[in-house]
Chain A
Amino acid sequence: MVTMKYGKLTALSLALLFAVGCTSKGGDTAGNETLDPNAGMTAGQGSSYGSEFDSSSEAALRAIKTFYFEFDSSDLKQDAMRALDVHARDLQGSGKRVVLEGHTDERGTREYNMALGERRAKAVQRYLVLQGVSPAQLELVSYGEERPVAGGHTEFDWAQNRRVELRD
Chain B
Amino acid sequence: MKIMIRLLIACLAMAAGTVFAADPLVITRGTDRAIPIAVVPFGLSGAASLPEDPARIIGNDLHNSGFFNPLAREHMISMPARPDEIIYRDWRAVGAQYLLIGEMASQADGRVQIRYHLLNVTSEQQVHAGTVTGTVQQLRDLAHHIADQAHEKITGIKGAFSTRLLFVTASGPVSDRRYTLYRADYDGARAVTLLQSREPILSPTYAPDGQRIAYVSFEQKRPRIYVQQVETGQREQVTNFEGLNGAPAWSPDSSKLAFVLSKDGNPEIYVMEMASRQVRRVTNHMAIDTEPFWGKDGHTLYFTSDRSGRPQIYRASINGGEAQRVTFSGNYNANPKLSADEKTLVMIHRQDGYKVFKVAAQDLQRGTLRILSDTSLDESPTVAPNGSMVIYATRQQGKGVLMLTSLNGRVRTVLPGIEGEIREPSWSPFLN
Contacts of B202 in A (CB 8 A): 110-111, 114, 144, 146
CB–CB A150/B174 < 8 A: yes
Instruction: Establish whether residues A110 and B221, one from each chain, have CB atoms under 8 Å apart when the complex forms.
Output: no
Q: List CB contacts (< 8 Å) of A64-104 with chain B.
A: 72
12 A-B pairs (CB sep. < 8 Å): A28-B175, A108-B348, A108-B379, A109-B304, A109-B348, A114-B247, A115-B260, A122-B266, A142-B244, A143-B218, A146-B200, A153-B398
Contact partner of B377 (CB less than 8 A), chosen from A107, A112, A147, is A107
A148 / chain B contacts, CB cutoff of 8 Å: 174
Q: Find out whether the CB atom of A111 lies under 8 angstroms from the CB atom of B290.
A: yes
A146 CB to nearest chain B CB (Å)? 4
| Contact in complex: A115, B290 (CB < 8 Å) | yes
- Report how far A142 CA is from B176 CA in the complex, Å: 18
Does the CB pair B221–A141 fall under 8 Å?
A: yes
* Contact present for A108 and B175 (CB under 8 Å): no
Alpha-carbon separation in the docked complex, A149 to B222 (Å) = 18
A129 to chain B: closest CB distance in Å?
A: 14
Q: Are B200 and A118 in contact (CB-based, < 8 A)?
A: no
Contact B288 A119 (CB under 8 A): yes
Docked complex Cα distance between A110 and B425 (Å): 12
Tell whether, in the assembled complex, residue A153 and residue B377 are in contact, meaning their CB atoms are under 8 Å apart: yes
Would you give the shortest CB distance from A139 to chain B, in whole angstroms?
9
8 A-B pairs with least C-beta separation: A146-B200, A115-B288, A109-B335, A115-B267, A111-B247, A29-B173, A109-B334, A151-B174
A contact residues, range: 20 to 34
Residues of A contacting B173 in the complex (Cβ-Cβ under 8 angstroms): 27-29, 151
Q: In the bound complex, what is the Cα–Cα distance between A28 and B260 (angstroms)?
A: 34
Q: Which of A133-163 contact B (CB under 8 A)?
A: 140-144, 146-151, 153
Residues in B whose Cβ lies below 8 Å from that of A72: 310, 332
- Nearest opposing residue in chain B for A151, CB measure: B174
Asked whether B156 is an interface residue with its Cβ less than 8 Å from the other chain, the reply is: no
Chain A residues in 8 Å Cβ range of B243: 118, 140
Instruction: Find A108's partner among B221, B223, B334, B423 (CB 8 Å cutoff).
Output: B334
Measured between beta carbons, the chain B residues less than 8 angstroms from A29 are: 173-175
Question: Of residues 244 to 268 in B, which have CB atoms within 8 Å of A's CB atoms?
Answer: 244, 246-247, 260, 262, 266-267
Taking the nearest CB of chain B, how far is it from the CB of A91, in angstroms?
20
Chain A residues with CB under 8 A of B177: 147
Using known A-B contacts A110-B379, A110-B424, A112-B291, determine if residue A118 contacts B262 with beta carbons closer than 8 Å. yes
Contacts of B288 in A (CB 8 A): 112, 115-116, 119
The residue that B291 contacts in the complex, of A27, A111, A119, A151, with Cβ under 8 A, is A111
A141 touching B222, Cβ below 8 Å: yes
CB-defined contacts of B262 to chain A, threshold 8 Å: 115, 118
Is the pair A114, B290 in contact by a Cβ cutoff of 8 Å?
yes
B contact set with A: CB distance below 8 Å: 173-177, 200, 202-203, 218, 221-223, 243-244, 246-247, 260, 262, 266-267, 288, 290-291, 304, 306, 310-311, 332, 334-335, 348, 357, 377, 379-380, 395, 398, 423-424
Q: Which residues of B contact A151 (CB under 8 A)?
A: 173-174
With A112-B304, A114-B290 as contacts: A147 and B200 at CB distance below 8 Å = yes
A5-19: CB near B (< 8 Å → 1, else 0) gives: 000000000000000
B322 to chain A, nearest CB (A): 21
Nearest chain-B residue to A99 (Cβ)? B221
Instruction: Decide: A143 near B332, CB < 8 A? Known: A110-B380, A111-B246, A149-B174.
Output: no
With A and B bound together, what is the CA distance between A29 and B171 in angstroms?
Answer: 13
Contacts of A153 in B (CB 8 A): 377, 395, 398
The answer on a CB contact under 8 Å between B174 and A109 is no
Q: Which residues of A contact B267 (CB under 8 A)?
A: 115, 118
Q: Is A36 an interface residue (CB 8 A)?
A: no
Complex contact B174–A108 (CB within 8 A): no
